[in-house]
Amino acid sequence: MAGDQLDNMLNGHLYHQTNELLEIRFKARDLLYEYNHCHPRNLEKRSQIIENLFGATGKHFFVEIPFHCDYGFNIEIGENFFCNNNCTLLDCNRITIGDNVLFAPNVGIYTAGHCIDPELRLNKQEYTAPVHIGDNVWIGANASVLPGVSIGTNVVIGAGSVVTHDIPDNCVAVGNPCRVLRYVNEHDKKYYFRDRKV
């Protein structure tokens, strides 16, 4: 039964929480408790815990304290990942993050959802969908990325955005719902902040 529910969860089918799934989450919580109570200067121990918690990591990464996730093993990060304070990755499905990705404080990446239909929701059925984030992405403070979203390469997601749909490569996207504001161009090599004018 537990295997069936785990398979359903990982494959995006409706599933129920079980004691066995809860136990998997508790094992992740054990590592998270240890991580979030590390001395900030103990970088070696912090890196080791993240390597044990995540499904895959690059050689160079930094995850600020506190950090939160559900399972851990569904998270894969590339090289030079930087994650600021109070990030939440609800990894009931896969979260794949490319190289040179920056998360500002309070970023949330969510693969889990509850049913819109009230009967299904009251029956405690849930669903998941994976999230993919490409290379060279910066996600601003308090942004949320919802289940099933793919964010392209060389993207900036504005602070406070709610990303409900896929975002293409090479753009600045902002808002709720998040939408493309403009595309990255040569102007940005000289004028690096939003209020700068040519």
pLDDT band at 198 (very low <50, low <70, confident <90, very high): very low
Residue 96 lies in a domain: yes
DSSP annotation string for 63-112: EPSSEEES-STTEEE-TTEEE-TTEEEE-SS-EEE-SS-EE-TT-EEE-E
CATH number of domain containing 147: 2.160.10.10
Helix pair 19-36, 2-10: axis angle to 10 deg = 60
Mean pLDDT of the chain: 94
Residue 10 lies in a domain: yes
| Active-site option among 16, 37, 68, 114 | 114
Q: Is 165 a catalytic residue?
A: no
pLDDT band at 124 (very low <50, low <70, confident <90, very high): confident
Which residue intervals of the chain are DSSP H helices? 2-10, 19-36, 43-53, 118-122, 187-190
Domain that holds residue 14: 2-190
**Residue 106 amino acid letter:** N
Q: Span 28-32, mean pLDDT?
A: 97
Count of the separate structural domains present in the chain: 1
Report how far residue 164's alpha carbon sits from residue 185's, in angstroms, rounded to the nearest whole number.
Answer: 25
Q: What is the pLDDT of residues 74-97, one digit of tens each?
A: 999 999 999 999 999 999 999 999
Residue 131 lies in a domain: yes
Q: What is the pLDDT of residues 34-43, one digit of tens each?
A: 999 999 999 9
Residue 197 lies in a domain: no
